[in-house]
Structure formats: C-alpha cells, structure tokens
Amino acid sequence: MTAFSQATATALAVVPRAYPLNKVPASPTMPYVVYSATFSAPETYTNDAAHSVRIYRITWQTFGRDIDGVSDVDSKVVDALLDKRLTVTGWDCGPCGTQHGGILGVPVRDPDDRGVVGTTSSLTFAATKE
C-alpha cells in the first residue's frame, strides 16, 4: 500500500464499511464504500529535474439497496475528506477539494444485481515534495 493509500485509509477509518479497492469481503453488508487513491503525472519539476508537485485523486464508489443509504455513506466520506489535509511523510498535502461528479455521484441502479444502487465520486488535492 502506498503512503497516499495508507493516508486515505486512515482518513476513511471513521466511515463504516469503507474498503480499499480489491479488499471488499465476498458478501459485504450494505451500504458500503470502495475507495482508491491515484495520482497524475508530475505537474512541476525543480531545477534539478525532480518532480515537486503531484495531483492526487481519491475516488470512491458507494453501493447500497436504496439511494438514502448510499447518500448517507457518501456524506460520511465527504465529511472525512473535504477540506482535510492527508498526512504523508515527505509531502505537504493541500486540502482535499475539487469535486468531480458532485458530492453524490450520478446514481445508477444495477438490474442484474438485485437492484443495487451505486455512485462514483472523487476529490483531488495537490501534494508538494517537502
């Protein structure tokens, strides 16, 4: 697990049933959240050609039986991340902020999975090498 993934897991520890990507139990209790932390290519470089700023994105998918349950869990994820700064050794992280897909992503009902409702949302932040 990368340092940024670990920092994301720490921030989301307050959200019930929040699982890192590929770590969801075989039969999870709903509603639940699956999250991942990814990064873009370096945005800036120092004079010695070392990257110094990266943009990170925390993406989560929420699944449940109804939109109210999904919305409640999405709100908990947003509360745990929005305007917060992750702690990552060697990096100065800006606050999680820019939202793509809104606080509650577009809800989709899966007709093949007993009507499970799902959303996908994300927040981004910049991190600068210390």
Task: Give pLDDT tens digits for 60-73.
Answer: 999 999 889 998 99
What is the domain extent for residue 81? 3-129
Q: In the chain, how many domains are there?
A: 1
Global pTM reads 0.82
Task: Please state, for a pLDDT cut of 90, what percent of the chain lies above it.
Answer: 42
Residue 73: name the closest of 84, 62, 83 by CA. Answer: 62
Say what the alpha-carbon torsion angle 44, 45, 50, 55 is, to the nearest 10 degrees: 0
What CATH number has the domain bearing residue 80? Answer: 3.30.2000.20
DSSP structural state of residue 107: P
The tens digit of pLDDT for each residue in 73-115 reads 989 999 999 999 999 888 888 898 865 544 557 777 776 667 7
Q: Tens digit of pLDDT for each residue in 9-39?
A: 999 999 999 999 999 999 999 999 999 988 7
